[in-house]
Amino acid sequence: MSTQEKIQTNQENHPFSADVARLLEIVAGALYTNQDVFLRELTSNAADACDRLRYEAIKNPSLTKDNSDFRIHVYKDTESRTLTVVDNGTGMDENELIENLGTIAKSGTASLMKQIKESGSNDNLKLIGQFGVGFYAGYMVGNPIEVISRKAGDKKTWRWESDGRSGFTVHEASPEDIALLDGDRGTAVRLHIKDEACEFLLDEKIKQTIELYADHISVPIYLGTPQDTSEGKSEQINSASALWMRARNDITKEQYTEFYRHISHGFDEPLMTAHWRAEGKMEFSALLFVPTLRPWDLFDPSRRHFVKLYVRRVFISEDIETLMYPWLRFIRGVIDSEDLPLNISRESLQHNPVINKIRSAVARHILGELDKLSRNDKPGFAAFWGQFGAVLKEGLYDAPEHREDLLKICRFYSTKEDGEKFATLAEYVERMKDGQDKIFYISGENVQNLKNSPQLEGFRARGLEVLFMTDTIDDFWLQQVHDYKGKKFQSITKGDIDLAAFDKKDDQEQKEKEPEQNNEIESLIEKLNEVLEGKINTAKSSKRLTGSPVCIVAPETGIDMHMERVLKIHQKYEGETKPVLEINPDHPLIRRLAANNAAGQDITDAAWLLLDQARIIQGEPLDDPSAFAKRLSEVMLSDISK
């Protein structure tokens, strides 16, 4: 809040940030089919608060000394028509209440708002479904909402209150407020239940909802007040054991899904769930998920992974950057180590060798599971690859130790199915022609354009399969990864490729029979080289072309064409590689040019028109578009006048 705003409001009244105000409007207007998720959000916040304090208390045990068992209470009061969720977690001081419940600082909610802003659409409901709205979900069922909170170790208790419209107030809590807390710390969230949500004043409904959404929460949740519990009158309604420590057979699909939603703040289903326990030299449990949808910020450079690190059931951090490879940054879940010391700072964890070993073991396991998925659930895997393939391929570049496993699950479109179906490298190699020792590929922006590339013609005609590389990362990993099982990767838009070995016999004989024609072509090439000197590397006769008259390719020693474009876009390269101009000696246009032995202005125009059309097909800018247009008009005119 700016000082200006502070002066305008008094100490206690605060406006919501614009984001929150907008979000609240959406929440209030949302005819939410799944109202009960508000309880998931509130219990999840309560559990997070307990997890945070548990961690802080490792260093500072006095924070929890009189009250070291963490717990959550949920209860209704029919007289005041309220529902209250109480935790004895870390609590919030005045500033934190203002910050955390008045602005959208982080979390799923922030991504939701960003998405809403960016999409500019009215499809907000779907977006809410995708992200969850955190604390503010309470306004679907309650109004006003009061939050009483005392930060662990502090003396003062604060009261936050809002009708979810204009803003909120924060002031010191009264003794009655303080009585709501469970001991000397934590938070009580009290919702004044709206008439249309009065079912949440029924114990049975509360119980059912918690069972559905919060069973996996590892802090016990009681139905009743903290006083009830101390008198032995309340009932524990969740199993309160860490889900990832339970046996796989004891966990239902619904429980996995709920847990996934709890940690991802999302509402979607996981596309893949991997739950295992590593034993032996290193001991850890992992429960990891691949989401169905690509998060909006997957390619944001500041994007990190969202895997939480626990040590022997104590939550440590979700910011240990080195815990996951960047190319697995879409994975969500929990890793719980048995080996790490508890009282280690988060900073020193970043470089802990145990973390590095876990990272590698986790990557290996995930890649193995993805490989299984690719065999057992082809549509599921195709969906995965569509969302995350491009990210995973960063690993080819970054992590040579996992390269082999990665190459196994990589999928590519190819000429075989005309860019409709994915192929694996193993399938490609299996289909290679006799005598073929290279894996041919062409890289560019999209399959649609690549399919029509003139450079492909000669490969198609000879039945040679070519892979389409359409992700930006492809050009980069192909610089690092030179072969797959001994078969080299070869770009078909670069250098000389000897296709003669794949020619039909009679084709070759026919060519040898026509020395006169060959001479004419040679002299045409000479002239092209003269006219285009300084513009091209060289002109030469092509084996690549069957239907088109010309194409350009990168010289053997140069940088590949699409790569150069990508580098230029990212301003990493300023050079200008001169292309090789390849002409098709069998094309009628080239034959006529050769036979007519054109000279003077005619050959100059022809040479430029050939080069420029090759560039256009390639999607490259022309040096001088107006000269191109002029030449083209003149050629058309001379044709019309004939």
Binding residues for ligand ADP, rule: CB under 6 A, are 41, 45-46, 49, 87, 89-92, 100-101, 106-109, 134-135, 187, 265
Q: How far is the CB of 425 from ligand ADP (least distance, A)?
A: 41
Q: Considering CB distances under 5 to 8 angstroms, the limit depending on partner class, which of ligand ADP, Mg ion, none binds residue 187?
A: ligand ADP
Q: How far is the CB of 163 from ligand ADP (least distance, A)?
A: 17
Tell me whether residue 190 or residue 402 sits nearer to ligand ADP (CB atom).
Answer: 190
Q: Considering CB distances under 5 to 8 angstroms, the limit depending on partner class, which of ligand ADP, Mg ion, none binds residue 177?
A: none
Q: What is the CA angle 432-433-437, rounded to 5?
A: 70
Tell me whether residue 87 or residue 177 sits nearer to ligand ADP (CB atom).
Answer: 87
Tell me whether residue 87 or residue 369 sits nearer to ligand ADP (CB atom).
Answer: 87
- Phi, psi at 146, each rounded to 5°: -115, 140
For residues 471 and 392, what is the distance between their CA atoms, to the nearest angstrom? 11
Q: How far is CA 485 from CA 198, 399, 403, 447, in A?
A: 65, 17, 12, 25
Q: How far is the CB of 221 from ligand ADP (least distance, A)?
A: 13
Tell me whether residue 84 or residue 100 sits nearer to Mg ion (CB atom).
Answer: 100
- Phi, psi at 617, each rounded to 5°: -60, -35
Per-residue b or e along 574-590, where b marks 16 or more CB atoms closer than 10 Å to that residue's CB = eeebbbbbbbbbbbeeb
- Phi, psi at 149, each rounded to 5°: -150, 140
Q: Considering CB distances under 5 to 8 angstroms, the limit depending on partner class, which of ligand ADP, Mg ion, none binds residue 150?
A: none
Return residues touching Mg ion (CB under 5 A): 45, 134
Tell me whether residue 134 or residue 226 sits nearer to Mg ion (CB atom).
Answer: 134
Dihedral Cα 293, 295, 296, 300, nearest 10 deg: -140
Side-chain-side CA neighbours of 424 within 13 Å: the count stands at 16
Q: Considering CB distances under 5 to 8 angstroms, the limit depending on partner class, which of Mg ion, ligand ADP, none binds residue 335?
A: none
Tell me whether residue 134 or residue 458 sits nearer to ligand ADP (CB atom).
Answer: 134
The helix/strand count (H/E) of the chain reads as 25, 23
Tell me whether residue 106 or residue 630 sits nearer to ligand ADP (CB atom).
Answer: 106
Q: Considering CB distances under 5 to 8 angstroms, the limit depending on partner class, which of Mg ion, ligand ADP, none binds residue 74?
A: none
CB 541 within 8 A of CB 520: no
Q: How far is the CB of 563 from Mg ion (least distance, A)?
A: 44
Helix (H) or strand (E) holding 13: strand 13-15
Q: How far is the CB of 34 from Mg ion (least distance, A)?
A: 16
Q: How far is CA 301 from CA 144, 327, 608, in A?
A: 40, 12, 42
Q: How far is the CB of 299 from ligand ADP (least distance, A)?
A: 22
Q: Considering CB distances under 5 to 8 angstroms, the limit depending on partner class, which of Mg ion, ligand ADP, none binds residue 415?
A: none
Q: How far is the CB of 132 from Mg ion (least distance, A)?
A: 8
Q: Considering CB distances under 5 to 8 angstroms, the limit depending on partner class, which of Mg ion, ligand ADP, none binds residue 109?
A: ligand ADP
Q: Considering CB distances under 5 to 8 angstroms, the limit depending on partner class, which of ligand ADP, Mg ion, none binds residue 87?
A: ligand ADP
Whose CA is closest to 332, among 249, 280, 278, 268? 268
CB 210 within 8 A of CB 237: yes
